A and B are shown apart, each in its own frame.
Chain A
Amino acid sequence: MALHFELVTPSKLVRSEDVHMVVVPGAEGEFGVLEGHAPFMSTVRDGTVQVYKTEGAAPENIEVRGGFAEVGDKGLTVLAEHVED
């Protein structure tokens, strides 16, 4: 099973895909989100979001600035003001 991950900026929907795990740089420390995570909301500090496509795979790093993460029934949504590809 996979986690649905969405990364959204004001100008576009950057990512919308099913992944294994995402590590988000929360304001109070990094946290990893797997499928079936409890509902959770956190602000995100400037840093790197690590996306693990499959278990054990090398992570894909995405730089985000000014953001916010929400974990709900539909998966993880990261709202970021800026994303550097």
Chain B
Amino acid sequence: MASLKELKDRIKSVKSTQKITKAKQMVAAAKLRKAQAAAEAARPYAERLAGVMGSLASKVSGDSAPLLLRGTGSNQRHLLVVVNTDKGLCGGLNANIVKEAKKQARKLIAEGKDVTFYLVGKKGRAPIKRDYASKIEHHYDTSDMRNPDFEEAEKIADDLVARFEKGEFDIAHLVYPVFKSALAQDPTTVQLLPVPAPEDTPASDAAVEYEPDEEEILEDLLPRYIKTQLFGALLEREASEQGASMTAMDNATRNAGELIDKLTIQYNRSRQAAITTELIEIIAGAEAL
């Protein structure tokens, strides 16, 4: 049986933990709204660009297509670009992303492919290093970025495209969380490079004039498309992080409340027991006289 003082200290410590989780929950809720708005604001650009890409890519095909669309022609070396968060306290979000990345890696390795990792964000580093220490190609640090901005996505995309053009890998996949709601964030894998040909291209019968020609426009457009995709992934990551954090901290706050109630009952019981014992001692003493 813990002493009264110990119990009292324990209650105090749980209470201060609860204060922290409560504050973090409220901060996450406020940030979530902002992150969601940012993700929504970015959608028109991505949609337009995807539409234009689709109609152009269907016109330019075969050997004249740019490298980013055509690919290296090989299917051996795969790069997994894994987007994790930089901060913890967001429940199982990072664990889920890493799980998805490892699943993809296992699948590709089972098919006899070479797999390397390109990590974005801090929290994926340790768990992936544990299993695939030798396969981590590069770690991109985003921890000093407060809000996802396009320049950051640009830098990552430029780096990836440069590596692709040097022939360091054949196919790149992007693993990132898709924000569904504060309760659900699904880790998703999409092919990043070479840019997958869009499946349903809207048949455009209008004679569109291009300046400069289709190929040059496409060449200009493809890196931009990759940047947009990475930017989208960063925005989704931000929203997912805040959503997951809000849910996790809400749970933590509730658990702390339950623990405090339990400890308070225990504390009161022991206090009463102590008083009863004292009384018995006094009465026994008085009777002995």
Chain A residues in the interface with B (C-beta under 8 A)? 8-13, 26-28, 38-43, 66, 68, 70, 72-73, 77, 79, 81-82
Contacts and interface: CB of A to CB of B under 8 A. Distances in A.
Given A10-B150, A28-B212, A79-B49, A39 B207 contact: yes
Given A68-B224, A79-B49, A8 B209 contact: no
Interface string B208-221: 11111000110011
16 contacts: A8-B45, A10-B46, A11-B149, A26-B211, A27-B212, A38-B209, A40-B209, A40-B210, A41-B208, A42-B211, A42-B212, A42-B217, A68-B221, A70-B48, A79-B49, A81-B154
Given A8-B48, A41-B56, A79-B48, 8 more contacts: A9-B150, A11-B149, A13-B44, A26-B211, A39-B207, A41-B209, A43-B220, A77-B48
A11 B48 contact: no
B207 A11 contact: no
Contacts of A13: 41, 44-45
Nearest to B51: A70
B217 A43 contact: yes
A42 B163 CA distance: 28
A11 B216 contact: no
Given A68-B224, A79-B48, A81-B150, A11 B211 contact: no
Interface residues of B, number: 29
Closest 4 CB pairs of A and B: A42-B211, A39-B208, A12-B41, A39-B206
B238 to A, nearest CB: 12
Contacts of A82: 150
Contacts of A41: 52, 56, 208-211, 217
Interface string B268-285: 000000000000000000
Contacts, number: 75
Tell me whether chain B's interface is mostly helix, strand or loop, or mixed. Answer: helix
B45 to A, nearest CB: 5
Contacts of B220: 43, 68
B209 A39 contact: yes
B44 A11 contact: no
Given A10-B231, A68-B220, A68-B224, A79 B212 contact: no
Contacts of B212: 27-28, 42-43
A43 B210 CA distance: 9
A20 to B, nearest CB: 22
B42 interface: yes
Nearest to A69: B211
Given A10-B231, A27-B211, A40-B209, A70 B52 contact: yes
Interface string B184-223: 0000000000000000000000111111100011001100
Interface string B226-256: 0110010000000000000000000000000
B195 to A, nearest CB: 16
Contact of B228 (A10, A26, A27, A40): A10
Contacts of B211: 26-28, 40-43
B38 to A, nearest CB: 7
B213 to A, nearest CB: 10
A10 B231 CA distance: 8
Contacts of A27: 211-212
